[in-house]
Structure 1
Amino acid sequence: MANLKRNMLELVKNPEAIVKGEEPEIEKIWTPAFIPLRVARDAIQLYNDIDVEDMSEFDKFDKIADFVANEIFAGKITKDDIFNRLHAPGGKNVLMEQIIFIAQGQQSDDTKNFLAKKG
C-alpha cells in the first residue's frame, strides 16, 4: 500500500502504577492507515462547531474526545482511554492537534520526530 500519512497519540499504559511511584510506560497509538475524506470534512465541522456554538468547556471536551476516539482512531481507543490515560497538562491541545491533522494533514512534531528517528 502507498505510504499514507498517519499520526500518533501517546497514552500512559500504567496510570495506577505511576500514582504508586513507578515510571510511566507510554503506548503509541497510530491512526488507521486509511482515513476517509468524510472524516476530514467532519473534523472541519467539529472545529467550527466548538468554536462557534454556545457550549460548555465540559461538553466541548466530551465532543472532541468522542470524535478523536471514534472517528480519527476508528475505535482503536475509547473516550475513556483518552480521559484516563492522556496526561492532563496540554491534553486538550494534543486532541486538537489530532483534529488539525485530519482536517489539514499536519502531523504533530512528536510524530514527525518519531518517524524521522525510525526511518
Structure 2
Amino acid sequence: MFSFIFPTTMKKKISTKLSSAQRLTIIKISIVLIVIALLWIIFSPQTGYYTLCKQKNYLQSIQQKTIDLQAENKQIQKENDRLINDPEYIEKVAREKQGLLKKNERVYDFSQ
C-alpha cells in the first residue's frame, strides 16, 4: 500500500482573518437566509404552518359535522323504528302531518 507522509514543513497555515466589513456582510446574508427559511416554513404552500393550521381547522369542522349527522341519523332511525312498530304513532303522524281521516270521520274547523 501507498502511504504518503507529509513533512511538517509542507503544511501551510491558512489565514482566515476577515475584515469587519466582511463579517458584517456575512452576518447580513445569514440573517436574510434565516428569515427566508422561517418564512418558507410558515407559509410554504403544502407543508407550511399556516396551511397546517387551516387544514386542522377544516378537519375539526368536518369532524363536528360528522358528529352532528350521526346524532341526526340516530334520531331518524328512532322515528323510523317507531313508525314501523307503533301503530298509535303511525295514526298520530297520519292525522297531524298528512291530514288523513278515518272512515266516517269529519273535521270541523273553528279557527275563523
- Shorter chain as denominator, the TM-score bin is under 0.3
More strand by share: 1
TM-score with structure 1 setting the length: 0.19
More helix by share: 2
TM-score with structure 2 setting the length: 0.20
Q: Which has the higher contact order (CA 8 A, sep 6+)?
A: 1
